[in-house]
Amino acid sequence: MEALRLAREHVKKEIRRKGFSLYEVSAKEITKSAEALLAARPQVMIEQASDRLGEIRLRKQRDGTAAR
């Protein structure tokens, strides 16, 4: 799930970078593009997701909240 979320964020950044508004692109198309990105570069996206989840866990431990 985190890898797909990161892929969606990457797609959204690319849309904005190209000068388009997110309102011009349907959520379905963003998800479709994110899934294609994830399929094309699964290891990169999974590593990024794993790193991100590790950061969240460390932050929660540091703040004293329960990590899932």
Give the 3-state DSSP-derived string for 18-45, with helices as H, strands as E and coil as C: CCCCHHHCCHHHHHHHHHHHHHHCHHHH
Residue 65: per-residue pLDDT: 66
- Could you report the per-residue pLDDT of 6-60, keeping only the tens digit for each? 899 999 999 999 999 999 999 999 999 999 988 998 888 778 777 877 877 888 8
Residue 54: per-residue pLDDT: 80
Residue 33: per-residue pLDDT: 94
The backbone region for 64, taken as left when phi is positive above 0, alpha when psi lies in -120 to 50, beta otherwise, is: left
Q: Tokens 């990590």 — which residue?
A: 67
Contact 56, 46 (CB under 8 A): no
Residue 11 is classified by DSSP as H
Distance of alpha carbon 66 from alpha carbon 68, whole angstroms: 6
Where residue 66 falls among pLDDT bands split at 50, 70, 90? low
